[in-house]
Amino acid sequence: MNSDNAYANQVLLALVELLDISPSYYDKATERYKSLGEWLHRKESQVGLFSPSVYVQGSFMYGTVIRPLMTSEEYDLDLVCQLNLSKMRVSQRDVKELVGDEVKAYAKAMGIAEPAREKKRCWRLDYADEAKFHMDILPAVPDPEFQTRLLIMEVRQDIAAQAVAITDREHPRYTEVQDDWPESNPKGFTRWFEGRMRPVAQLLLESLVARRLYASVDHVPLYAWKTPLQRAIQILKRHRDIMFKDDVDGKPISMIITTLAARCYGGERELQEALSNIIRKMPEWVRDARPRIANPVHPKEDFADKWHKHPRLEENFWAWHTQAQADLTAVTRPVDESRLRRLVRQKFGADISQERTRTIVGTAVAAGGAAGASAPAIVTIKEPPRPWA
């Protein structure tokens, strides 16, 4: 690794430390989903018969959560509540309401002031204690028929086996008992995502076990892996948040960033290399025809399904991609301390401490790198236009 790469990695690591949330948030999230699971299994539970299982999906699962831009913002904890019911015997509404009744009772028992709110596909619970979370609980049932279709589409067997049917309040046959349900595969996605970084994580995991932090490699939760892929996603998400802070509804969604990044990740061990390869290869995974950005564990699902109706969203995606690629180049190119701090603040809304900046810039110079540029490269003006009005 040359000294410029060492500099780049140090900058990116300092940045990601500022974006990362404290492990206590992950503990809190685990505590919350386990508590809901226990509730569903209590003696009086209406769903106890259907062997309910509650599991995490989304960024809390993948270990890609970042601090919200505003301290007042909440963290989204996405949960799936799976009941062992056949979609041939109950309607979507039955499942939604079964879960809903339990969630409402849970909210009451836990003394949560805000009642559970029904959303299109899930139930939302707002915790209002010290850790600001809201939990989105997605009711689901296993879907063997969909699993078979996924196998035919050559989705890996262990991934297909996780596929579920979910409910949608706006589905035309929401209240009927019939087999046409919306489909999803959150657990399958987690497996796929994990698989993308498994090779590079192995050593990392073994060292955690060797340090007696975990009993075995299988006990290390995904969020503790902290692979270059996870860190790259955190950086890209924050860059997006800053770029679209005044247009929150227009920003590229996390699922698109996460999927494309995981697709493009080639097992790089260094963050800088991972990030620059990811951003460079991203366009290869955006198709011209639909699905524009396919869900890797559900090839017919399009994460960019809204682009067709709202072309602005696609423009925003490419604008973000262009800007992110340029900004990452700019931020990893050696500059002096004040410029480095200004760039990181401007592009990522994060303040690297003066001390840390000094160390980063100092080490680069000590390692034989050029002193960080203290001014932009000089333009030689030739045949300038004369100002005119």
Token look-up 């300092």 returns 14
List the one residue from 316, 340, 360, 364 that touches other proteins (CB under 8 A). 316
> Binding to other proteins (CB under 8 A): which residues in 155-214?
none
Q: CB-wise, 174 or 244, nearer to other proteins?
A: 244
In whole angstroms, how large is the CA radius of gyration of the chain? 24
Give least dist CB 341 to other proteins, A. Answer: 13
For position 327 contacting other proteins by CB under 8 A, the verdict is: yes
Which region among 1-9, 136-144, 162-170, 308-316 touches other proteins (by CB under 8 A)?
A: 308-316
> Binding to other proteins (CB under 8 A): which residues in 342-361?
343, 346-347
CA distances in angstroms from 347 to 67, 229, 316, 331, listed in the order given: 15, 20, 16, 9
For position 302 contacting other proteins by CB under 8 A, the verdict is: no
For position 130 contacting other proteins by CB under 8 A, the verdict is: no
Q: CB-wise, 120 or 309, nearer to other proteins?
A: 309
> Binding to other proteins (CB under 8 A): which residues in 259-288?
283
Token pair listed for 350? 């994060």
List the one residue from 236, 243, 257, 304 that touches other proteins (CB under 8 A). 243
DSSP one-letter string for 73-131:
PPEEEEEEEE----TTTS-HHHHHHHHHHHHHHHHHHTT-SSPPEE-SSSEEEE--SSS
Helical axes 23-41 vs 92-109, angle rounded to 10°: 110
For position 70 contacting other proteins by CB under 8 A, the verdict is: no
Distance CA 369, CA 371 (A): 6
Residues 108-146: b if buried by 16+ CB within 10 A, e if exposed: eeeebeeebeeeebbbebbbeeebebbbbbbbbbbbeeb
Which region among 92-100, 138-146, 175-183, 314-322 touches other proteins (by CB under 8 A)?
A: 314-322
List the one residue from 323, 336, 337, 349 that touches other proteins (CB under 8 A). 323
Q: Are 106 and 36 in contact (CB under 8 A)?
A: yes
Helix, strand or coil for residue 246?
A: coil
Degrees to nearest 5, angle at CA 386 with 385 and 389: 120
Give least dist CB 250 to other proteins, A. Answer: 9
Give least dist CB 334 to other proteins, A. Answer: 13
Q: Which residues bind other proteins (CB under 8 A)?
A: 243, 283, 311-312, 314-316, 318-319, 322-323, 325-327, 329-331, 343, 346-347, 375-381, 384-389
